[in-house]
Amino acid sequence: MKTPIIAPSLLSANFLEIGKDVDMINNSEADWLHLDVMDGRFVPNISFGFPVISAVTKVCKKVNDVHLMIEEPEKYAEAFAKAGANVLTVHIEACRHLHRNIQQIKTLGMKAGVALNPHTSVSQLENIIADIDLVLVMSVNPGFGGQHFIERTYEKIRQAKALIDASGSKALIEVDGGVTMDNCKAIVEAGADVLVAGNTVFSAGNPADMIRALKHGA
């Protein structure tokens, strides 16, 4: 089995001791830090914004992977670049002019990702797949942590992998939601490159050990 990129989700961290959790990630085998931004419009929840992201990215030594669950992401892309985002992912469902969104993100010096909600078909990426760096397959309905993995996601991962291979795209496949020790190996075997894990990491007795276990499928 290939070794996946592990991206712990800050949404599940202890916000009273967020600096300690970022230090843990810095000193762990995690590759990325996943930052979920919610606006209360695209999803029925609000998370955190620029002050938190700017503070975290100043001390985080990993790739800052920002996932925008927001309406009109084009209005804020430049601010997220200034806040330290390395990868910026927008939802296809929130973008009327997706190609323009992707161009904007890349012009700002970030890698560009596109996220798909559980009901959204992979085929909708056909005309953009060659231009993006990341496909984020939502394996739960976005907006809340701690949900159970949707089994249909395995087939969507395989479809995304086939589309990437057929197009010659270099895009990575990221899976977000319900990733646990029970399913991480199967998710990677289906074709995923990046595993987002929130509750699984931060509710563990030793989060760094859990990161290591997810990475090596042990």
Whole-number Cα distances in Å, 174 to 12, 25, 184 = 18, 18, 12
Task: Extract the annotated binding site.
Answer: 9, 34, 36, 67, 143-146, 176-178
Angstrom CA distances, 141 to 1, 94, 177, 184, stand at 28, 15, 8, 18
SS3 of residue 213 by DSSP = helix
From the list 175, 177, 184, the residue with the least C-alpha distance to 136 is 175
Q: Which residues are annotated as a binding site for a divalent metal cation?
A: 34, 36, 67, 176
User: Which residues are designated catalytic?
Assistant: 36, 176
Distance CA 93, CA 102 (A): 14
Give the residue numbers of the binding site for substrate: 9, 67, 143-146, 176-178
Q: Report the distance separating Cα 113 and Cα 102, nearest Å.
A: 8
